[in-house]
Chain A
Amino acid sequence: MSTFYFIAFLSVFFSILVITAKNPVHSILYLILTFSTFTVHYILMNAQFLAVVNFIVYMGAILVLFLYTLMLINLNKESEPRKSNLVKIAGFVGGACFLITIVAALKAWGTSHPVVLNDPNLGLVKNLGKILFNEYLLPFEVSSILLLSAMVGAVLLATKDPKTA
């Protein structure tokens, strides 16, 4: 039980570092650490499939894409944009109000039961695969079209316009 609170503390700590780090590269590295704590959360809930997918897709693919884009974009210290303190305080107050609203709604909801894993096979690849390829076969196929369109869109956007080049 204390493991959960330790990992939860690490998640919050690293995610605060993500938005406060001055250097965007440090931000990305802290984001990788945050996602690794999320992977530990998934393992603790015995969602093994999601833990592996989170590890490969988020920490492997998406964050490497972020780092690669940051390398393409030449950011030096001077080009790092700064926001005025007033805007920062306003943003912080806005986010804090949002958090307080959710916590108040949670308090009003009342009792909470402990999260108990009744079926240990719930998050395993076998179980999820059966559900994915039986009930959710159509959304699965549609998501392949989504990925294809995203790929075509990314290539179209990132290539230079041949008329101007």
Chain B
Amino acid sequence: MDTLTKTIQGVPLNHYILLCAIIFSIGVIGVLIRRNAIVIFMSVELMLNSVNLLLTAFSVYRGDATGQVFVFFIMALAAAEVAVGLAIIVMIYRNTNSVDINVLNRLKW
């Protein structure tokens, strides 16, 4: 394990921030350009995960384990969110026979 963790020695914190920003932006673009509700949901998961990675990087950088505990709570939250969200998608599909988010236009008002 020592040799493995030595491999990240010297990676600047900015590169971690850059990586997580890129993946977060990809998640944002995914939410904007797709119309399939499940793929949009997966893009949200991508965003959540990039934030998790950044929190862990900062936790290692500061030498403070609180960040990793927070990531654990975010994972519990994500599991709950996915269960409820997918149940809603299944319900929408049962009512409209489609997972196209444009069908949900009437939710606007």
Contacts of A65 in B (CB 8 A): 82-83, 86
The A interface is mostly helix, strand or loop, or mixed, namely helix
Cross-chain pair count, CB within 8 angstroms: 260
- Total interface residues on A, CB under 8 Å, equals 89
**The residue from B22, B46, B72 contacting A99, defined by CB atoms under 8 A apart:** B22
The answer to whether A120 and B5 have CB atoms under 8 Å apart is yes
Alpha-carbon gap, A27 to B63, bound state (A): 36
**The residue from B15, B34, B56, B77 contacting A83, defined by CB atoms under 8 A apart:** B34
The answer to whether A115 and B8 have CB atoms under 8 Å apart is yes
A-B contact pairs, 9 of them (CB 8 A): A4-B15, A18-B46, A35-B49, A69-B89, A70-B38, A91-B32, A103-B21, A109-B14, A149-B80
List chain A positions with a Cβ less than 8 A from chain B: 1, 3-5, 8, 11-12, 15-16, 18-19, 24, 27-28, 31, 34-35, 38, 41-47, 49-50, 53-54, 57-58, 61-62, 65-66, 69-70, 72-73, 75, 79-83, 87-88, 90-92, 94-96, 98-99, 102-103, 106, 109, 112-120, 122-123, 127-128, 131-132, 135-136, 139, 143, 146-147, 149-151, 153-155, 157-158, 160
List chain B positions with a Cβ less than 8 A from chain A: 1-2, 4-5, 7-19, 21-30, 32-36, 38-39, 41-43, 45-46, 49, 52-53, 56-57, 59-61, 63, 65-66, 68-69, 71-73, 75-84, 86-91, 93-94, 98-102
